[in-house]
Amino acid sequence: MGAQWKAKHKDIAANAKGRVFTKLSKEIMQAARGGADPDMNARLRMVVEQAKKASMPRDTLERAIKKGAGLLGEAVNFERVTYEGFAPHRVPLIVECLTDNVNRTVSEIRVLFRKGQLGAAGSVAWDFDHVGLVEGTPIAQSAAGADAELAAIEAGAQDFEPGEEEGSTLFITDPADLDLVVKALPAQGFNVTSAKLGYRPKNPVEGLGAAELEEVEAFLAAIDAHDDVQEVYVGLAG
């Protein structure tokens, strides 16, 4: 299951797109605090690209930018908080949230963890590597010759693997090298479609049966459905 868990068949859920837009809007508002111009704000530019890729309506996108930049006279102050713990069957996970009310969020996260175990800070982080995650697709004119391994070496990435979308590549970097790799990849034949800091499991749990996996999936789906949850990183193989 790798570094970042994604709900199975999430795209066919009636409210899936709404949840995606909600999460992207929060990221946009948070990023826009550093400036409303994507050309001058690299972090905002990356999130805007993700929003366009998800077909977010233009009005929704522009309002999120203006709101985050304080151009609508509304104070927006999201805090990024991280929770650690275990899903059923001792599967470790890290949950990243953006919230405007930490007390409410932690109370609701505790409830969601009833079938697992919510841990203290550092309780499972030691079993993950904190890394940069850069997803890229071959630039059209160089698609035939784009070499992911060579691009990773030349751009300064530590490793690479197939990305979430067909034909894409996920480049794994040292956290400090994230921006350098993002800037270097276009010269190596890859357009960057997303870039962020995240987590990779060191020792993914293996050998769970079908019923156990189903239980873990149900737990993760409930966590991911929470409005404040932005990312779920899970130590589960496969």
Higher-pLDDT residue of 172 and 52 is: 172
Residue 129 contacts residue 92 (beta carbons within 8 Å): no
Domain shared by 133 and 195, yes or no: yes
Higher-pLDDT residue of 181 and 237 is: 181
Q: Is the pLDDT of residue 197 over 80?
A: yes
Q: Would you place residue 220 in the very low, low, confident or very high pLDDT band (cuts 50, 70, 90)?
A: very high
* Structural domain contains residue 73: no
Residue 143 confidence (pLDDT): 52
Predicted model pTM: 0.83
Residue pLDDT, tens place only, 130-147: 999 999 988 876 555 678
DSSP summary character for residue 208: -
CATH of the domain at 153: 3.30.70.980
Q: Any idea how long the chain is? A: 238
Residue 122 confidence (pLDDT): 92
Average pLDDT of 112-117?
Answer: 95
Residue 82 confidence (pLDDT): 96
* SS3 of residue 128 by DSSP: strand
Residue 65 confidence (pLDDT): 93
Rounded CA-CA distance 230/61 in Å is 17
Structural domain range at position 183 = 128-201
Q: Express as a percent the part of the chain with pLDDT over 90.
A: 63
Domain shared by 216 and 98, yes or no: yes
Domain shared by 38 and 135, yes or no: no
